[in-house]
């Protein structure tokens, strides 16, 4: 039983941490009976989409914690839901996680109470998007790149090699313009994709991180996004609506997650994906514990459960992502294989610029444009300003 494996007593002992004043448990006690999760679509599966992908049912049976899931399509939506409260954990990407820490919406996690912690990828154990001043505010869940998805009937034997197909107006290999046939992500973090494109094509701007932009670099990124606005038919945030567009609305190309690529291919839709020459931004998601979580014991049991190599393997196959437990690629406990991990980019960790929250005081230069400006200005771009 999961509960027996972790329970060191029946009561929760609390230790106030000096860094935040938030409570951190020192023992895991009796399960409360439920767990309320905010998650990305496709992250918490109980076999309802495809029967073979189910990592919830056995957890519920073993722990006695009924899992309730609220899906969120953007990091901003996740932050808003966590601010409202009523949830125990969230699978937060790097552009949300530091905001949740700074806003004291999440509490430190005692990794000593998670037996599988030693199996976590060493590249992730001290990642700056969830470890602050040496304090862990969660445990890693999955990671992967934002890929360029394209219609193989449009591109034929000339797959795109650059993100220019979604940023610059051009005639595609099928002889038609890309105007009105491409999409872009409906989230302010998409500014970073424009900045990364400029890193490659306009090196004179001096951009060293797409999340650390001075005023001139930021202006150039916004100008590129305004140019892209003339091409985009939809700013997507719902993965399933984007998939429907690629099935029925003649979409040619878009940035996306491997999740959509995998499902569309399984449905026979003619799409493929690449990481273009400019590289890719990406996400490394963390299971974080709400500062006012009512079901802390179930949350710790869940965090331990998510680090099982068979769950990590199956989730990485389902989502087209990479496990945070390297053994999931090779131990044969789940569906994933070493070849599958390589295909998903497991060896490309250092090539991905992971989402993180833009802040004023940045490492690469004296002062950078903070995230609140990304939010308001990106709304303006989408609105045609």
Per-residue pLDDT tens over the stretch 276-288: 999 999 999 999 9
pLDDT for residue 325 = 98
**Quick check: do 2-144+283-351 and 147-256+355-382 share a fold?**
yes
Residue stretches of the chain with pLDDT short of 50: 1-21
Beta bridge partners of 354: 282
CATH 3.40.190.10 fits 2-144+283-351, yes or no: yes
CATH 2.10.260 fits 147-256+355-382, yes or no: no
pLDDT for residue 109 = 97
d(CA 311, CA 309): 5
Among 366, 263, 302, smallest CA distance to 114 is for 302
d(CA 125, CA 211): 21
pLDDT for residue 11 = 28
d(CA 188, CA 379): 8
pLDDT for residue 130 = 95
pLDDT for residue 354 = 94
pTM over 0.85: no
- Residues 314-335 have pLDDT tens digits of 999 998 899 999 999 999 999 9
For the chain, domain boundaries: 2-144+283-351, 147-256+355-382
């Amino acid at each position: 039983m999961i509960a027996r494996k972790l329970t060191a007593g029946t009561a929760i002992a609390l230790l106030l941490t000096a860094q935040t004043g938030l409570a951190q448990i020192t023992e895991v006690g009796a399960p409360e009976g439920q767990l309320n999760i905010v998650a990305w679509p496709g992250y918490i599966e109980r076999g309802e989409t495809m029967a073979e992908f189910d990592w919830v049912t056995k957890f519920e049976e073993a722990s006695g914690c009924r899992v309730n899931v609220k899906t969120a399509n953007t990091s901003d939506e996740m932050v808003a839901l966590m601010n409202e409260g009523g949830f125990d954990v969230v699978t937060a990407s790097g552009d949300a996680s530091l905001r949740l820490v700074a806003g004291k919406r999440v509490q430190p996690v005692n990794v000593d109470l998670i037996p599988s912690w030693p199996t976590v990828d060493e590249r992730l154990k001290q990642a700056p998007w969830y470890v602050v001043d040496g304090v862990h505010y969660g445990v890693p869940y999955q990671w992967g790149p934002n890929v360029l998805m394209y219609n193989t009937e449009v591109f034929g034997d000339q797959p795109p090699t650059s993100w220019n197909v979604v940023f610059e107006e051009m005639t595609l290999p099928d002889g038609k313009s890309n105007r009105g046939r491409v999409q872009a992500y409906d989230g302010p973090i998409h500014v970073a994709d424009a900045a990364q494109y400029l890193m490659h094509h306009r090196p004179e701007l001096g951009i060293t991180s797409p999340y650390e932009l001075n005023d001139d670099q930021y202006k150039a990124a916004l100008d590129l996004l305004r140019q892209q606005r003339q091409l985009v038919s939809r700013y997507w945030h719902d993965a399933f609506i984007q998939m429907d567009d690629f099935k029925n609305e003649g979409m040619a190309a878009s940035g996306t997650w491997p999740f959509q690529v995998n499902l569309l291919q399984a449905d026979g839709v003619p799409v493929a994906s690449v990481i273009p020459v400019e590289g890719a931004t990406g996400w490394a998601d963390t299971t974080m514990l709400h500062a006012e979580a009512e079901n802390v014991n179930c949350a710790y049991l869940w965090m331990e459960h998510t680090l099982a190599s068979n769950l990590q393997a199956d989730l990485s196959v389902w989502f087209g992502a990479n496990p945070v437990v390297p053994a999931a690629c090779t131990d044969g406990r789940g569906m994933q294989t070493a070849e599958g991990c390589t295909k998903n980019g497991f060896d490309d960790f250092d090539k991905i610029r992971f989402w993180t929250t833009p802040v004023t005081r940045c490492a690469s230069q004296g002062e950078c444009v903070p995230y609140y400006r990304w939010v308001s200005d990106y709304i303006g771009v989408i609105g045609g300003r």
